[in-house]
């Protein structure tokens, strides 16, 4: 009774706090006129329970922060309000005023952090509310009848070190506003760290990781399906959809989770490593789904200008030059120092009016170069891109901007000056590098020389393989012929002794076929047995039913008796006698294949199943 009363009281309390979101009534996920603030120890919980907002300390207890985390894992903090201004005690208060401004106050009433909410030029709202959505987004909205819930401010526009489904990574080209990730200073200190993850909107959209002012890693440009250096994005498309939005007021990367997908987050670590983590609800741990940089070739500009990184060539410290280029400093290159990069070995032929004898070599399967010094025309064809590059003396390479639709792709990216940060990747794109005519001729000659070597070698290998195959066939047939002759010689011996020199034309059946026909001499196929052995029903490959007599090794019947039975039954043909259809001799096995009698033998019909005593 007391338990039921307690449950009733809890239910009434929950309904009074969270069953309605009408203006002026408190809700578990909202700050409004009904509840203007929360203190340390109180929380907002999203409607579906996925996210929680409250006060926390990742390290020292005297450093308190307001943040949002996954309810299933409090350590998975996705947003921090006062990351650079921690509270020194537990006297903090988060509150909202009528204009929609969020304030975090310390124990003295001083503002430690505020949302800097703007009204967007439509006047100061008479009332506003802050709500933690099920997406993990804390939004401040107008809470009056005229505004229809217009958003005044949202935490998704101010990321910390984590990107979750629905958040943007990008910028507004019109205002310069940027949505980027900034690492924590250390695992237990959410203060702004040295590493940043942002969208590069020069050229094609490209996600870049920075440490201070230095680029450390880039994904490669977006090609319509994935970032060209991260083809594995396609492998988890059943759980997460990836999209790059390009509009006049927004260029941004967004990922969304499907209905069956686990919780997921992209986290920028203090070392500048970006990890995609997925929540395993069974073991209650975050598993690393993907990580970048993955290897040495992901280090930005590892092989410098016109260098090409291959993670499978550790003997050369992974670096080589793009076709038509040689190391700027062979001495340094021999010491595995690639900082100087590569230079063109033969000058291009570029004359006034666009006349040229230059051409292009295709470098396949690569992450496209940095597009900072590239021009992009998404409406051009690949052939038009080629012509445009040849007509421009500064053009050194071109590629398709979009690989959707198959073929060679569409759109046009043209690089002028150096190309940097190129590496081989799985499902990489084609990069068309401009070369002088002599370089192309040398490449074709080299390719021809290789073909002259490969073709004879390939032909010799084919001849050798065919010879080996023919020898094997001849040997197999010879062995089989020997076995057949051996078996028939047994019968010829009996034939000469009993009936002269007449030949016995009787099929020799392989033991393998008999095993298959009788289901490996299973008991289900056995028709009967006697002192001579057992009789099995069998079905040969032509679906013909037969009776197979397997002589027992202990029957006392030897080779001479077996020969006599085969020869005599083969020569005696009568409509009332069962016919011998074949025989088998396999090592010490002796088997006879008879006509199968589905209606039993004649003696059953003459004498019946009852036998008179003698």
Cα–Cα distances (Å) from 601 to 126, 302, 526, 595, in that order, read 107, 88, 16, 11
DSSP H or E stretch at residue 478: helix 437-498
DSSP state of 547: E
* DSSP codes, 40-103: BTB-EE-TTSSEEEEEE-SS-TT-BEEEEEETTEEEEEEEESSTTS-BSSS--EEEE-TTS-EE
Return d(Cα 6, Cα 447) in angstroms, integer: 85
- CB 592: neighbour CB atoms within 10 A? 25
Contact call for residues 131 and 48 (beta carbons, < 8 A): no
Annotated binding site for ATP: 549
Phi-psi region of 89 (alpha: psi -120 to 50; beta: other; left: phi over 0): beta
Torsion of CA 579, 582, 583, 586, to 10 degrees: -160
Contacts with 476 (C-beta within 8 Å, 6 or more apart), sequence order: none
Q: Which residues are annotated as a binding site?
A: 549
Supply the DSSP string of 397-425, one letter for each residue: EEE-SB-TTSTT-BSEEEEES----EEE-
Q: Are 366 and 425 in contact (CB under 8 A)?
A: yes
Q: Is 185 exposed, middle or buried (0-12, 13-18, 19+ CB in 10 A)?
A: middle
Q: Minimal CA–CA distance to 536: which of 518, 552, 551?
A: 518
For 122-151, the DSSP string reads S---S-EEEEE-TTS-EEEEE-STTTTS-E
Token duo for residue 342: 């590569």
Q: What is the 3-state secondary structure (H, E, C) of 481-537?
A: HHHHHHHHHHHHHHHHHHCCCCCCCCCECCHHHHHHHCCCCCHHHEEEEECCEEEEE
Specify which residues 189 forms β-bridges with.
Answer: 186
Other C-beta atoms within 10 Å of 84: how many?
12
SS3 assignment, position 451? helix
For residue 398, give Cα distances in angstroms to 219, 268, 346, 407, 516: 18, 32, 19, 16, 63
Q: Using the structure block, give the residue that is written with the tokens 């005696």.
A: 572
Residues 578 and 545: beta-carbon distance below 8 Å: no
Contacts of residues 515-518 at CB distance under 8 Å and 24 or more positions apart, as own/partner, are 517/546, 517/548, 518/548
CB of 217 within 8 A of CB of 195?
no
Residue 244 and residue 253: Cα distance in Å, rounded? 4
First to last CA, the chain: 93
Q: How many CB atoms lie within 10 A of CB 323?
A: 17
What are φ and ψ of residue 278, in 5° steps?
-125, 140
């Amino acid at each position: 009774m007391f338990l039921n009363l307690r449950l009733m009281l809890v239910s009434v309390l929950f309904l009074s706090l969270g069953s309605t979101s009408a203006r002026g009534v408190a809700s578990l996920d909202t700050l409004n006129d009904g509840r203007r603030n929360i203190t340390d120890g109180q929380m907002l919980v999203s409607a579906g329970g996925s996210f929680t907002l409250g006060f926390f300390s990742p390290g020292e207890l005297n450093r308190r922060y307001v943040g949002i985390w996954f309810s299933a894992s409090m350590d998975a903090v996705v947003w921090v309000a006062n990351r650079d201004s921690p509270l020194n005690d537990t006297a903090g208060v988060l509150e909202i005023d009528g204009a929609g401004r969020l304030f975090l106050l310390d124990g003295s009433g001083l503002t430690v952090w505020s949302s800097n909410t703007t009204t967007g030029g439509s006047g100061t709202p008479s009332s506003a509310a802050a709500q933690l959505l099920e997406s993990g987004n804390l939004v401040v909205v107008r809470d009056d009848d005229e505004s229809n819930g217009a958003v005044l401010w949202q935490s998704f526009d101010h990321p910390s070190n984590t990107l979750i489904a629905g958040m943007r990574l990008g910028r507004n080209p019109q205002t310069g506003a940027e949505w980027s990730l900034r690492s924590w200073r250390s695992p237990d200190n959410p203060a702004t760290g040295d590493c940043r993850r942002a969208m590069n909107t020069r050229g094609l959209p490209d996600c870049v990781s920075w440490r201070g002012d230095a680029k450390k890693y880039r994904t490669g440009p977006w090609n319509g399906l994935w970032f060209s250096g991260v083809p594995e994005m396609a492998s988890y498309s059943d759980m997460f959809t990836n999209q790059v939005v390009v509009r006049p007021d927004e260029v941004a990367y967004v990922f969304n989770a499907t209905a069956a997908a686990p919780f997921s987050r992209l986290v920028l670590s203090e070392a500048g490593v970006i990890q995609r983590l997925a929540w395993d609800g069974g073991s209650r741990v975050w598993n690393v789904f993907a990580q970048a940089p993955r290897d040495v070739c992901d280090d930005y500009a590892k092989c410098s200008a016109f260098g090409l990184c291959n993670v499978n060539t550790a003997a050369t410290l992974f670096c080589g030059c793009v076709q038509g280029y040689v190391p700027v400093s062979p001495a340094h290159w021999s010491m595995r120092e690639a900082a100087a990069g590569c230079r063109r070995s033969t000058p291009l032929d570029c004359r006034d009016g666009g006349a040229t004898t230059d051409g292009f070599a295709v470098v396949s399967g690569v992450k496209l170069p940095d597009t900072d010094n590239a021009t992009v025309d998404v409406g051009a064809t690949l052939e038009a891109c080629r012509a445009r590059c040849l007509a421009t003396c500064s053009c050194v390479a071109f590629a398709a901007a979009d690989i959707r639709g198959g073929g060679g792709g569409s759109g046009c990216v043209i690089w002028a000056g150096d190309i940097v940060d190129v590496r081989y990747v799985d499902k990489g794109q084609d990069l068309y590098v401009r070369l002088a005519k002599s370089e192309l001729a040398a490449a074709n000659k080299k390719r021809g020389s290789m073909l002259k070597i490969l073709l004879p070698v390939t032909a010799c290998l084919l001849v050798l393989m065919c010879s080996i195959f023919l020898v094997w066939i001849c040997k197999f047939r010879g062995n089989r012929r020997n076995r057949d002759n051996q078996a028939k010689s047994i019968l010829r011996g009996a034939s000469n002794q009993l009936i002269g020199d007449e030949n016995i034309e009787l099929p020799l059946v392989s033991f393998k076929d008999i095993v298959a026909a009788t289901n490996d001499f299973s008991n289900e196929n056995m028709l009967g047995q006697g002192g001579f052995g057992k009789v099995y029903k069998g079905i040969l490959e032509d679906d013909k039913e037969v009776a197979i007599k397997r002589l027992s090794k202990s029957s006392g019947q030897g080779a001479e008796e077996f020969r006599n039975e085969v020869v005599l039954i083969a020569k005696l043909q009568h409509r009332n006698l069962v016919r011998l259809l074949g025989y088998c001799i396999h090592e010490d096995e002796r088997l006879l294949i008879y006509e199968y009698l589905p209606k039993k033998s004649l003696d059953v019909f003459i004498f019946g199943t009852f036998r008179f005593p003698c």
